[in-house]
Amino acid sequence: MVAGARPNFMKIAPLMKALAGDRDFDITLIHTGQHYDDNMSGQFFRDLGIPEPQFHLEVGSGTHAQQTAEIMRRIEPELEKLHPTAVIVVGDVNSTAAAAMVAKKLGIDVIHAEAGLRSFDRSMPEEINRIVTDSIADLFLVTEESGRVNLLHEGVPAELIHLVGNLMIDSLRQNLERAQSSEIADKLSVRGRPYGVVTLHRPANVDDPAALAEILAALGTIADTLPLLWPVHPRTRARLADSNLSIGSGIRLLAPLGYLDFLSLEAGAALVLTDSGGIQEETTVLGVECLTLRDNTERPVTVELGTNRLAGTRKATILAAWEEMKRSSREKQIPPLWDGRAGERSREVLREYYAKSSASEERRVAAR
């Protein structure tokens, strides 16, 4: 199992737990080190109870090409030594596509958890990672119906696609009670008070000073009436420092938070403004209003059933979505199978798939 960035960790934790309790599976964890400092990685491992990885590639930061290439270079000899039956990759980060490509070239099965999601925006690096990974995967674990439909349209045989639910929501449900005992709200003096939470990290939003200025202007206006807490991703903080853009007085910049502290703030928020895919899912299950600072989403079920609204990236569109949210309420639903049992369903899919593969191999041997 390969993970490298914060969004991966919430997805591998319940799957590792489900597989670790089954004697027929032997799991090795490879951490690529795509996210590498303690706030971005180590704290998440501790909060989620993920065991120490057997291999840590310590790739670190770099451009997309540099990071992808370095992951491929460092993971290849480890996979050659292990030569596992399969490599499980999750999500849509550089570690996902890099590990999948190396595994496939070594003749190792590739299993993609969170397969089939599409924003249909190829300017997003994550979309390229999703497309590349799904084009070579052997088995597809899907979170929502749109993923199944997308894969069928791309020619994937239906018997290889399995709607199992959402591993990230497994982590949320398993840890929400612990998160609610976090003292972070008291430390920030927001307990019992209305506040919003901001996350922002996508290159299209933070690397272009003009785009960042539009978003900051909207956040500043919202923060005049709703104080905003912003745990700042390291690369976003660097862009803010380089831009010299004004940040509204109602916006409070924080260091990156561990999983439990962030979940605690998220669950207690009146509003979350984000460009993160996973947070769109979490807010839907938590029943927290979410404005996604993008023009599209690869998780349409969060808009169709959940609390998510696409707000765009311009000041005018973000504020229009904010006003609409305040004016209108709608019935909110939790998507099918987002019930905390995706890890168990994934295990059963893997068990059935490899039982069939083993039986087929035995028949081939017998025929020879």
- The catalytic residue positions are 201
Cα–Cα distance, 206 to 304 (Å, whole number): 27
Cα–Cα distance, 141 to 113 (Å, whole number): 5
Which residues are bridge partners to 251 per DSSP?
228
Cα–Cα distance, 64 to 68 (Å, whole number): 6
Q: Are 48 and 10 in contact (CB under 8 A)?
A: yes
- For 311, the token pair is 């707000």
Q: Which of 179, 184, 177 has its CA nearest to residue 260?
A: 179
Q: What is the DSSP string of 215-248?
A: HHHHHHHHHTTS-EEEEPPHHHHHHHHHHT----
Q: What is the DSSP string of 281-323?
A: HHHHHHT--EEESSS--S-THHHHTSSEEE--SSHHHHHHHHH
Q: Which of 34, 32, 112 has its CA nearest to residue 78?
A: 32
Q: What is the β-pairing status of strands 30-31 and 228-231?
A: unpaired
CA distances from 87 to 48, 71, 75, 93 (A): 21, 14, 11, 15
Cα–Cα distance, 50 to 44 (Å, whole number): 8
Q: Which one-letter amino acid corresponds to residue 229?
A: L
